[in-house]
Amino acid sequence: MCWTAKSFIRGLSYSVKYCSKDNHLQKIHLYSKLKPKKCHILDWSGSTCNSTVPPGSILPWRFFSCKQEGTEIPCKIKKIASITTPELLYKDLLKSEQKNWNEISGRYKAMAKRIKKKIEELHKKYTFSSESPRIKVGESVYFEENGCIFLSKADDVDEGNVRILFSAEDLGFDDAFIQRIRISPDQRYMATSLKSENSEEATCVVMKLGDFPVVEKVIPNVFSFEWVSNDVLYYTSQKNLKCQDVFMTTFTKQKHTELVYTEQDARFFVDIYCTKDRRFLTINSNSKTTSEVWLVDCRHPFKSPVLVQARTKGVIYHIEHRNDELYILTTYGEPAEYKLMKAPNAGHLYLNVISFVSHSVQSIKLPAWACAFELESHPEHTTSTCYFQLTSPVHPPKRFAYSFKENNLIEQAVQEVPIITNCHTTRLLAKSKDETLVPITVFHNTNSKELHRKPLLVHVYGAYGMDLNMSFKEEKLLLIEEGWILAYCHVRGGGELGHSWHKDGCQHNKLKGLDDLKACIILLHELGFSQPKYTALAAASAGGVLAGALCNSNPELIRAMVLQAPFIDVLNTMMKTHLPLTIEEQEEWGNPLADEKCMKYIKSYCPYHNIKPQCYPSVFITAYENDQRIPLTGVLRYVQKLRKAALDHAGRTKKKGNWIPNIILDIQANGSHCDSSWEDSLNEVARQLAFLKKELEDV
Q: Are 495 and 415 in contact (CB under 8 A)?
A: no
**CA 478, CA 236: separation in Å to the nearest integer?**
39
Q: Per-residue pLDDT averaged across 51-77, rounded?
A: 33
- Kind plus residue range of the DSSP H or E element containing 177: strand 176-183
| Res 90: pLDDT | 66
| Res 563: pLDDT | 95
Using alpha carbons only, how large is the chain's radius of gyration in Å?
34
> Of the CATH numbers 3.40.50.970, 3.40.50.1820, 3.40.50.720, 3.30.2010.10, which one belongs to the domain with range 419-698?
3.40.50.1820
* Mean of pLDDT over the chain: 79
- For residue 494, the 8-state DSSP code is B
Q: Are 496 and 505 in contact (CB under 8 A)?
A: no
**CA 263, CA 588: separation in Å to the nearest integer?**
41
Residue type (1 letter), 492: R
| Res 8: pLDDT | 31
| Res 556: pLDDT | 96
Q: Per-residue pLDDT averaged across 53-67, rounded?
A: 31
| Res 520: pLDDT | 96
Question: Who wins on pLDDT, 119 or 521?
Answer: 521
At 70, the pLDDT band (50, 70, 90 cuts) reads very low
Question: Who wins on pLDDT, 284 or 624?
Answer: 284
The DSSP-derived string for 291-322 is EEEEEEETTSTTSPPEEEE---TT--EEEEEE
**CA 375, CA 400: separation in Å to the nearest integer?**
10
Residue 634 scores a pLDDT above 70: yes
At 89, the pLDDT band (50, 70, 90 cuts) reads confident
Q: Please state the separation of Cα 322 from the chain's center in Å.
A: 21
Residue 433 scores a pLDDT above 60: yes
- For residue 481, the 8-state DSSP code is H
| Res 29: pLDDT | 32
Residue 619 scores a pLDDT above 70: yes
Residue 322 scores a pLDDT above 50: yes
Fold of 129-259: Methylamine Dehydrogenase; Chain H (2.130.10)
Residue type (1 letter), 539: A
Instruction: Give the lowest-confidence range in 3-17, 333-347, 496-510.
Output: 3-17
The count of other CB atoms within 10 Å of the CB of residue 242 is 14
| Res 581: pLDDT | 81
Residue 288 scores a pLDDT above 50: yes
Instruction: Give the lowest-confidence range in 43-57, 368-382, 458-472, 551-565.
Output: 43-57
Q: Are 40 and 49 in contact (CB under 8 A)?
A: yes
Residue 657 scores a pLDDT above 70: no
| Res 61: pLDDT | 28
Q: Give me the half-sphere count of Cα atoms (radius 13 Å) on the Cβ side of residue 498.
A: 1
Label the pairing between strands 456-460 and 535-540: parallel
At 15, the pLDDT band (50, 70, 90 cuts) reads very low
Q: Give me the half-sphere count of Cα atoms (radius 13 Å) on the Cβ side of residue 451.
A: 23
Q: Are 627 and 676 in contact (CB under 8 A)?
A: no
Q: In which residue ranges of the chain is CATH 2.130.10.120 found? A: 129-259
Q: How far is CA 674 from CA 494, 573, 624, in A?
A: 18, 19, 10
Q: Per-residue pLDDT averaged across 420-449, rounded?
A: 88
Residue 287 scores a pLDDT above 80: yes
Please write the tens of the pLDDT for every residue from 527-545: 999 999 999 999 999 999 9
Winning range, highest mean pLDDT, from 78-92, 488-502, 550-564? 550-564
Beta bridge partners of 632: none
Catalytic center residues: 541, 627, 673
Please write the tens of the pLDDT for every residue from 193-227: 998 876 778 999 999 998 888 999 999 999 999 99
| Res 189: pLDDT | 94
Q: Per-residue pLDDT averaged across 449-474, rounded?
A: 91
Residue 41 scores a pLDDT above 70: no
| Res 175: pLDDT | 79
Q: How far is CA 238 from CA 9, 191, 247, 489, in A?
A: 33, 17, 11, 36
Question: Who wins on pLDDT, 418 or 687?
Answer: 687
At 332, the pLDDT band (50, 70, 90 cuts) reads confident
At 656, the pLDDT band (50, 70, 90 cuts) reads low
The pLDDT > 70 percentage for the chain reads 80
**CA 371, CA 347: separation in Å to the nearest integer?**
9
Q: Please state the separation of Cα 599 from the chain's center in Å.
A: 38
Instruction: Give the lowest-confidence range in 70-84, 283-297, 411-425.
Output: 70-84
First vs last Cα of the chain: how many Å apart? Answer: 68
**CA 155, CA 141: separation in Å to the nearest integer?**
9
Q: Are 310 and 303 in contact (CB under 8 A)?
A: no
Label the pairing between strands 242-250 and 232-239: antiparallel
Please write the tens of the pLDDT for every residue from 568-596: 999 999 998 888 888 878 889 999 999 99
Q: Are 668 and 602 in contact (CB under 8 A)?
A: no
Among the listed residues 119, 163, 120, 126, the one whose alpha carbon sits nearest the alpha carbon of residue 141: 163
Q: In which residue ranges of the chain is CATH 3.40.50.1820 found? A: 419-698
Residue 522 scores a pLDDT above 90: yes
Instruction: Give the lowest-confidence range in 170-184, 396-410, 490-504, 680-694.
Output: 396-410
Residue 338 scores a pLDDT above 60: yes
| Res 513: pLDDT | 96
Q: How far is CA 104 from CA 76, 94, 96, in A?
A: 16, 16, 13
Q: Are 592 and 631 in contact (CB under 8 A)?
A: no
The count of other CB atoms within 10 Å of the CB of residue 89 is 18
**CA 569, CA 631: separation in Å to the nearest integer?**
9
Residue type (1 letter), 56: G
Backbone angles phi, psi at 679, to 5 degrees: -65, -45
Please write the tens of the pLDDT for every residue from 134-171: 788 888 888 888 888 888 887 665 666 788 888 888 88
Residue 507 scores a pLDDT above 70: yes
Q: Per-residue pLDDT averaged across 223-250, rounded?
A: 93
Q: How far is CA 65 from CA 62, 76, 448, in A?
A: 9, 9, 74
- pTM for this entry: 0.57
